[in-house]
Amino acid sequence: MTARPPYDRTAVRPAWEELPTAVRHRLAQLAGAEVIGAEVAGGGFTRGFAGVLRLAGGGSVFVKAASPDLPVAPSSYRAEASVLANLPSGVPAPRLRFTDEVEGWVLLGIEAVDGGRMPGLSWTDGDVASAVRACEEAADALTPAPTGL
C-alpha cells in the first residue's frame, strides 16, 4: 500500500500577518470581531490565503483572500462564492457568510466547520457510508438543479 498523499501540505499560502493591512482590517469588519488568531490551511489548489480566523468572543470563520496578482485564484474565489450563495439549504455544505473585494483582493467568509479527520487509505466502512450519505443528500437537494447554478 502506498503512503497517504499529504493533503494537508499541497499549497503554499501567505500567513495572516503577510496580508495587506486593508485586507486584514476588512476581513475583521466582515467577520464582526477582532481577529485574535489564524490557522492557515495547508491544503488546496491556489496560493491565496485560506484559513480559520479565531475571533474575539469565541467565534470563528473560514476565510479565503486572493491577491489580484495571483493567476486563477481571484476568479476561482468569485465562482466559489457564487456557487455557495446559490446552494439550497439541504446541501450538506458550509454556508457563505460574506464576500467582498478590497484593493483588488477577493474576500470570502465561509462557516468554519470541524472536518474531523481525513479518511485513511483504505477507507473504512464508516468512511464510505459517510461519503455516500453526503452525496445522496446533495443529489436530493440539487435535483432539479437550482436556478443560479
Q: How confident is the model at residue 129 (pLDDT cuts 50, 70, 90)?
A: very high
Cβ contact 141:88 at 8 Å: yes
Q: How far is CA 17 from the centre of its chain?
A: 19
Residue 14 carries which side chain, given as an amino acid letter? P
| 10 vs 141, residue with greater confidence | 141
Which pLDDT score, from 0 to 100, does residue 119 have?
74
- Which cell goes with 39? 490557522
Residue 138 carries which side chain, given as an amino acid letter? A
Q: Is 0.75 surpassed by the pTM of this model? A: yes
Cβ contact 72:46 at 8 Å: yes
In tens, the pLDDT along 73-100 reads 999 999 999 999 999 988 989 999 999 9
